[in-house]
Amino acid sequence: MKTALERINEVVSKDLSPWKERTIERRKKRDWTDRSNKIAIMILREIRKQKPINGMTQKKLADEMDVTPQYINKVVKGKENLTLETVSKFEEILGIRLLEVPSSKASPLKQEEVIAVSKSGAIPIVKYELEYTNEFLSDSTGKYG
Amino acid sequence: MEIVSIFGKRLFAFKYPDETEDEFSRLFNLWNDPEYLEEFFETNISDLQSGYWSNPSVVEAVLDTLRYAEHFEDILFELSEDNEDKHLNGLESIFRPLFDSSYRVLKFNKSKVRDNWLRLYALRIEKDVYIITGGAIKLTLKMQDREHTNIELSKLEKCKRFLLETGIVDVDGLIEEIES
């Protein structure tokens, strides 16, 4: 008599789950997606905050940035490897600071330097940014180049 | 409804007709998606900040979830790279019974993988064989408390019925198992 496992193997789909392939891709990109995800969250929160005030949506943001809504959607999913030029454009249109570069390489960033500042207040992502920043600054493994 | 192999020879997931991917892959896509997570936590903000967890903000919850998913995925990825014997030990150690007592002795154990509020739900077909039926971000004590987790209980039942109706698991076999 066949076991349940043998019966499953008779009906199992010929296609494997794409999970492992996706995971390999995600692991390869982690160095920068850690940051692109944080930027995505800050943009999403700002869109949500501004929506009742000025009708901001991903579509409106796309129009103002002269890019496609698909591009904005890729950014807010943390999947876009952003250039500094694009980051600056987001900052200008949304009126928030998304990236800060430490002014002195030797000293760690102060908390207030990594708070995401918006017109209407600060987004509380400080501890995560600090965690990241410390790892970045100590970079003993050369992980960040 | 299809059964899809995830890795190795004993871990599977259901793929539902209205979905483009199996549940395992679909859930990890969602748990790695800041846009989905921001919307989810904003929608469920009262549960998030009810005190059941440590009252995180939406931003903290999204960042925490991304880290949990990464950690979770790393554990499973390492398992997928191991040989089959290690798979089994690993899977048995991360799947725990969803309900107490009776399900432990049934051939069908409803099981889950725990890692903070992320949950994967699976049917335990026989020793060391699991089929993932779904998963959730569980912010409340009971699955019945919210629609999005209650749906997962329905999915477990639906999948169990499917396995019985298609003869993948035998009812007589189940009874013998209980009586033995």
At A37-90, the pLDDT tens digits run: 999 999 999 999 999 999 999 999 999 999 999 999 999 999 999 999 999 999
Cross-chain Cβ contact A45/B25 below 8 Å: no
pLDDT of amino acid B89: 64
- Segment A95-103 shows an average pLDDT of 89
Q: Which residue has the higher pLDDT, A142 or B119?
A: B119
Cross-chain Cβ contact B73/A26 below 8 Å: yes
- State the best of A3, A7, A8, A125 to mutate against chain B, taking most chain B CBs within 10 Å: A8
Find tokens 């154990």 and name the residue. Answer: B109
pLDDT, tens only, B61-117: 999 999 989 988 888 888 888 766 666 566 666 676 665 422 222 223 345 454 488
Q: Is it the case that residue B179 has pLDDT exceeding 90? A: no
Q: Do β-strands B129-137 and B11-15 pair in parallel, antiparallel, or remain unpaired?
A: parallel
Residues A74, A77, A81, A86, Cα dihedral to 10°: 70
Q: Is the dihedral of CA A83, A88, A91, A93 positive or negative?
A: negative
What is the DSSP secondary structure assignment for residue A3, as one 8-state letter?
Answer: -
Indicate the pLDDT class of residue A144, thresholds 50, 70 and 90.
very low
pLDDT of amino acid B125: 81
For A:40-99, CB contacts with B below 8 A are: 40-41, 44-45, 48, 73, 76-78
Q: Which residue has the higher pLDDT, B126 or A112?
A: B126
Reduced to 3 states (helix: H, G, I; strand: E, B; else coil), residue A54 is helix
- Segment B131-148 shows an average pLDDT of 86
pTM: 0.80
Cross-chain Cβ contact B35/A19 below 8 Å: no
Q: Which residue has the higher pLDDT, A19 or B92?
A: A19
Indicate the pLDDT class of residue A115, thresholds 50, 70 and 90.
very low
Asked whether B124 and B108 are in contact (CB, 8 A), the reply is yes
Cross-chain Cβ contact B6/A20 below 8 Å: yes
Cross-chain Cβ contact B63/A15 below 8 Å: no
B60 vs chain A: nearest CA distance in angstroms? 7
- Computed over every residue of chain A, the mean pLDDT equals 79
Cross-chain Cβ contact A19/B24 below 8 Å: yes
pLDDT of amino acid B129: 81
E strand segments, B70-144: 95-97, 109-115, 118-126, 129-137
- Computed over every residue of chain B, the mean pLDDT equals 80
Q: Which residue has the higher pLDDT, B92 or A23?
A: A23
Let me know the angle formed at the C-alpha of A27 by A31 and A12, rounded to the nearest 5 degrees.
Answer: 160
- Segment A87-113 shows an average pLDDT of 78
pLDDT of amino acid B171: 59
Cβ-Cβ pairs closer than 8 A, A with B, add up to: 113
Q: Give the whole-angstrom CA distance, residue A20 versus residue B52.
A: 33
pLDDT, tens only, B33-55: 999 999 999 999 999 999 888 88
Let me know the angle formed at the C-alpha of B58 by A122 and A65, rounded to the nearest 5 degrees.
Answer: 60
Q: Give the whole-angstrom CA distance, residue B124 versus residue B107.
A: 7
Q: Is it the case that residue B160 has pLDDT exceeding 50? A: yes
Q: Which residue has the higher pLDDT, A116 or A101?
A: A101
In B, which residues are within 8 Å of A4 by CB distance?
107, 125-126, 129, 163, 168-170, 173
In A, which residues are within 8 Å of B32 by CB distance?
26, 78
In A, which residues are within 8 Å of B38 by CB distance?
41, 44-45, 48
pLDDT > 70 in chain B, percent? 76
Q: Which residue has the higher pLDDT, B59 or B147?
A: B59
pLDDT > 90 in chain B, percent? 35
- Segment B151-177 shows an average pLDDT of 76
Cross-chain Cβ contact B35/A22 below 8 Å: no
Cross-chain Cβ contact A8/B22 below 8 Å: no
Indicate the pLDDT class of residue A136, thresholds 50, 70 and 90.
very low
